[in-house]
Amino acid sequence: MKLRSLPAILFLALFFFYPLARILGLTLDTSVFTLDNFLLAWRALSFTFYQAFLSTFLTFLLGLPAAYLFARFDFRGKSLLRAMTAIPFMLPTVVVASSFNALFGPRGWLSFLAPSSTFNFSPFALILLAHVFYNTTIIIRIVGNALTQLDPRLEAAARTLGANPLKVWTHVILPLLRVPLLAAGLLVFLFDFTSFGVILLLGGAKFATLEVEIYIQALQLLDLPMAALLSVIQLLCTLTFSILYSRLSAQMLVPTAPRPSTARRPRTLTEKLYTASIIFLLSSFFVLPLIALPIRSITRLEADRGQRGDVQYGLTMSYYSELFVNRRGSIFYVPPAEAARNSLTYAAATVALSLLLGLPLASALARPGHFERILDPLLMLPLGASAVTLGLGFIVTFNRLLLTSHFSLLSSPLIIPLAHTIIALPFVVRALQPAITSIPERLRHAAATLGASPWRVWQTVDWPILSRAILSAATFAFTVSLGEFGAATLLARPDFPTLPVAIARFLAQPGGLNYGQAMAMSTILMGITLLGILSIEKLRLPGAGEF
């Protein structure tokens, strides 16, 4: 074992594996094993599977035609449209929920433009649409890349032998795509299975998946043993899905084409109609929610009423100015601007801690020994555990860990960066590892032979190669922390909320002003996240991977 990986190992042991062990310990309480609890767990589990299966099916309905479009056809704006489909995957859940609220909600644009319309979506329908919005890019990337790599001579041979297009698909293409299709579907199902923020914000507590039920049992009913039982069920399911996905990913080998790309311009009328319809569908589905949110944040619609009850509508910046005003004069009020400052502070601390732990760990994993080969999959386990489960583990573990005689770690603002570091660390290591592996050892040896000290070697050889990867990893950690909602919902102190927690509070309160402030905060958070996404794409090294 390399000593430089020891700090990260100790950190994961104390703040990830130990809390999970404490959760397992709570399930040993025999009082939790009652018929009512088992029925509650079964209802939550069955609904979680139901909504995840339905969401995955709908994602395939949009994702497969889109994947075929990007793999087989060239058209103007292809790169921009492809990037647009990928943006929702990295947006915070509260931003996605606010975007769909701004477009389809009771105070949204659809209700304003067509108040008597039959296009009123139920909360469950909005949840499914939001999941499709999030995960379509997974189908496009995995299945589309597999389609691009298929040898076109196989299809040409089938057509030469008299096969029609349907038989080519069913007898040639689909059998070769079986593993990529299963891998993409399993990954989408995993993200839908662990969805929390979208379901809570768009559906509420009555749509009780495992994640939402854990939140209800832990924070509202204060039944920690029951919440722990649900967390164990959820963790077993997600780990099973993660293992299956890892095995499928290792098998995603398809016959490769002799040339880089087979994409071409659409030629026939059918191909042109297909291309135009899918482009229009994707553009509408992915652009409209993202545009509806910022426009709604500067617009007062008829659903928003003034203090005298008169209807007011039109352009306004009052929602942004109200972010700095405590209109009710409450001593418990936390201005949204302060919540934004809290989020930025937490994100900066997460970046610092993630890099301090991630750089030595990535360096050890870049040239692994036997121990590092075992450590590598263990590092990915935080990705399989939900943030809600992590937050519950922190509550159970650190409630009585005192920093001073009257101050526990759980009540400290430090708990948020610690939790966010657990979530961000795998992303940071994966961003740094390819860059560290690419550093030629001969350059280090040459610099050392010429008399350079270890620090000078790092400064002149390592840093020019690592600088972009470090900036990309830092941006990853910053973006993850800024938008994280699950763990922060359980752990954030009422007087130190994060920006996503503050947005959720305002969305849950009645009144047009509260709703407008939620839209304004979501727009700010979306803007910061988009800057982070653009920075990651600009700094990301080739070959670092998509997911």
pLDDT of residue 136: 93
Does residue 209 sit in the same domain as residue 281? yes
- Per the CB < 8 A criterion, the answer to whether 395 and 224 are in contact is yes
Q: How many domains does the chain have?
A: 2
| Residue 318 maps to a domain | no
| Residue 163 maps to a domain | yes
| Domain termination residue (choose one: 297, 315, 348) | 297
Mean of pLDDT values over 228-248: 83
Does residue 216 sit in the same domain as residue 347? no
Q: Give the pLDDT band (50/70/90) at residue 349.
A: very high
Does residue 260 sit in the same domain as residue 334? no
Which domain range does residue 454 map to?
1-23+328-547
Report the phi/psi class of residue 155: left, alpha or beta, with left for phi > 0 and alpha for psi in -120 to 50.
Answer: alpha
Residue 322 carries which DSSP code?
G
Which of residues 322 and 193 earns the better pLDDT score? 193
Q: Percentage of the chain with pLDDT > 70?
A: 82
Res 546 pLDDT > 60: no
SS3 string, 323-339, reads HHCCCCCCCCCCCHHHH
| Domain termination residue (choose one: 252, 280, 297) | 297
pLDDT of residue 281: 93
pLDDT of residue 306: 47
d(CA 301, CA 108) in angstroms, rounded, equals: 8
Q: Give the pLDDT band (50/70/90) at residue 244.
A: confident
| Residue 463 maps to a domain | yes
| Residue 278 maps to a domain | yes
Does residue 338 sit in the same domain as residue 452? yes
Counting beta carbons within 10 angstroms of the beta carbon of residue 53, is it exposed (0 to 12), middle (13 to 18) or buried (19 or more)? middle
pLDDT of residue 269: 86
Does residue 1 sit in the same domain as residue 57? no
Res 544 pLDDT > 70: no
In Å, what is the CA distance from 480 to each residue of 19, 280, 484? 21, 31, 6
Does residue 8 sit in the same domain as residue 121? no
| pTM given for the model | 0.83
φ, ψ dihedrals at 299, nearest 5°: -130, 130
- What's the N-to-C CA distance of the chain in angstroms? 28
Q: Percentage of the chain with pLDDT > 90?
A: 15
| Residue 79 maps to a domain | yes
Does residue 16 sit in the same domain as residue 150? no
Does residue 258 sit in the same domain as residue 130? yes
pLDDT of residue 355: 92
Does residue 290 sit in the same domain as residue 341? no
Mean of pLDDT values over 285-293: 91
Mean of pLDDT values over 428-439: 80
Does residue 362 sit in the same domain as residue 288? no
d(CA 530, CA 547) in angstroms, rounded, equals: 18
Among 42-46, 145-149, 513-517, the minimum mean pLDDT is found in 145-149
Which of residues 134 and 462 earns the better pLDDT score? 134
- Per the CB < 8 A criterion, the answer to whether 320 and 297 are in contact is yes
The mean pLDDT value of the chain amounts to 80
pLDDT of residue 307: 46
Residues ≥6 apart with Cβ < 8 Å to 505: 497
| Residue 319 maps to a domain | no
Q: Give the pLDDT band (50/70/90) at residue 258.
A: very low
φ, ψ dihedrals at 35, nearest 5°: -65, -40
Q: What is the CATH number of the domain that holds 428?
A: 1.10.3720.10
Does residue 274 sit in the same domain as residue 402? no
Q: Give the pLDDT band (50/70/90) at residue 539.
A: low
| Domain termination residue (choose one: 275, 297, 319) | 297
Does residue 11 sit in the same domain as residue 125? no
| Residue 149 maps to a domain | yes
Listed residue (359, 386, 367) closest to 490, CA to CA: 386
| Residue 317 maps to a domain | no
Which of 50-59, 193-202, 377-386, 411-420 is predicted most confidently? 50-59
In Å, what is the CA distance from 350 to each residue of 89, 416, 533? 21, 9, 17
HSE-up of residue 402 (Cα within 13 Å, Cβ side) = 4
Mean of pLDDT values over 1-28: 84
Which of residues 185 and 330 earns the better pLDDT score? 185
